[in-house]
Amino acid sequence: MNVYSLFLALALDVVSGFEYGPQYSTNFITDLDHTREGKAHRNELFLGFQESSSMWFYTTLAPMLWDTVARWYGIGEKSAKSQQWIWDKFQEALKPLQQGIIGSSTNDNTIVSPVGNVLSTMYDEKIGKGPISQTQFREIASEIADHVIAGHETTGITLTYICWELSRPCNRHWQDKLFEECKTVPSDLQRLDQMPILHSIVQEACRLHSAIPGSEPRYVPQEGPKFEATLRDKHGTRVEIPPGTIVSCQPWSLHLLETPFGANPRQFNPARWLRDETTGETEQEYEKRLTKMNNSMFTFGQGNRMCLGMNLALMEMKYCIAQLYSRYTTDISPEWCNKVYQQQTDSLMGTSGRGRATSIKGTDVDMMRMADTYTTRPLMNECWLEFSSRD
């Protein structure tokens, strides 16, 4: 089964229902065939979203060039189709709200509309009382589209890398640990956060395979407090960053620091998130080390612009992984890749580029290279695993 297409479909089904309302959720997890190579993971809608994400530099820093570069790369048509799908989905969810069939607040006679909630919030914030123009409707649709696109790609990518890592022979013991912990998946979803093995696996995947490894540029404001940085020299020199300077941080670079993440930061090791009983690490020492690691995690950003859907994404991933590995074991499909590393190896990144080959014949580590783009993905756009029931 191609779990990359499977998890993209799952994540889009969830987030579309969350944003537009359950009755408008997509059903790609069953509508697409994830077991037949060359079909599901090449769905035009998902390709359009993927191509749009690859243009993030122009979206944030050079928007005037977006259309020109999109035409140059030959992705304008694909992106336009995905944008039209987003608009049509918004219109579909908006229509019954306008007709009064559903409402934006809870009462005995109406179904709550997530679109209605966003509509009323942005309406009050932007223009107060009065009619909403077509332009303002498009702004609202764009806000929801941002949630839908970001909410399905990142979750689907992370779930794919979790299952690939667990399917590698060197990590098979983590499947067994996970099974023992998740034999009974709790009905109270908050209890998922109390499962240390599950949490450590998700955290390690978010660290090593951050779905957005690319730079997050920000301007130093012209007014307000001074911004300073501490250099990593022997004196710990502090320097002031001038107003107007563009500063940036990459999750990819930050997450590969040995301090605070420990030895072999390029390798998948959920144990780094657990208390090391073999060295006699005390609970106090563990909590201190854990705090430093958590403070250096940048998967969902930091500050007032961090990911709005973080809690939904984490809960969705934990529930999915708990359900899967309480019932199945997974292995890398030998028909897809017959050169599987038996030992632990460093995670790799690669570039596909325009006009380059679309496939790599090598080890599973080569084929699962992270695409060197703002929003990453498996470089070959696929990950084929075999599922075996534990019954």
Residues that constitute the known binding site for heme? 307
Which residues are within 8 A (CB) of 17 and not within 5 positions of it... i.e. 6 or more apart? 24, 25, 26
Residue 274 phi/psi, 5-degree rounding, is -110, 160
Taking the C-alpha atoms of residue 368 and residue 161, their distance in angstroms, rounded to an integer, is 8
What token pair was written down for 191? 């209890």
Q: Report which of 254, 241, 329, 264 is spatially closest to residue 294, judged by C-alpha positions.
A: 254
What token pair was written down for 350? 């690669």
Q: Please, what is the angle between helix 44-53 and helix 134-167, to 10°? A: 100
Taking the C-alpha atoms of residue 387 and residue 3, their distance in angstroms, rounded to an integer, is 10
Tell me the DSSP string of 38-53.
TTGGG-HHHHHHHHHH
How far CA 52 is from CA of 23, 47, 80, 82, in Å, comes to 27, 9, 9, 9
Taking the C-alpha atoms of residue 221 and residue 370, their distance in angstroms, rounded to an integer, is 33
How far CA 8 is from CA of 32, 143, 149, 367, in Å, comes to 11, 20, 10, 18
The residues facing 370 across adjacent strands are 349, 378
Determine the 3-state secondary structure of 296 from DSSP.
coil
Positions at the binding site = 307
Q: Do the Cβ atoms of 338 and 362 come closer than 8 Å?
A: no
Going through the chain in order, the beta strands assigned E by DSSP cover: 218-219, 227-230, 238-241, 246-247, 328-332, 349-350, 370-371, 385-389
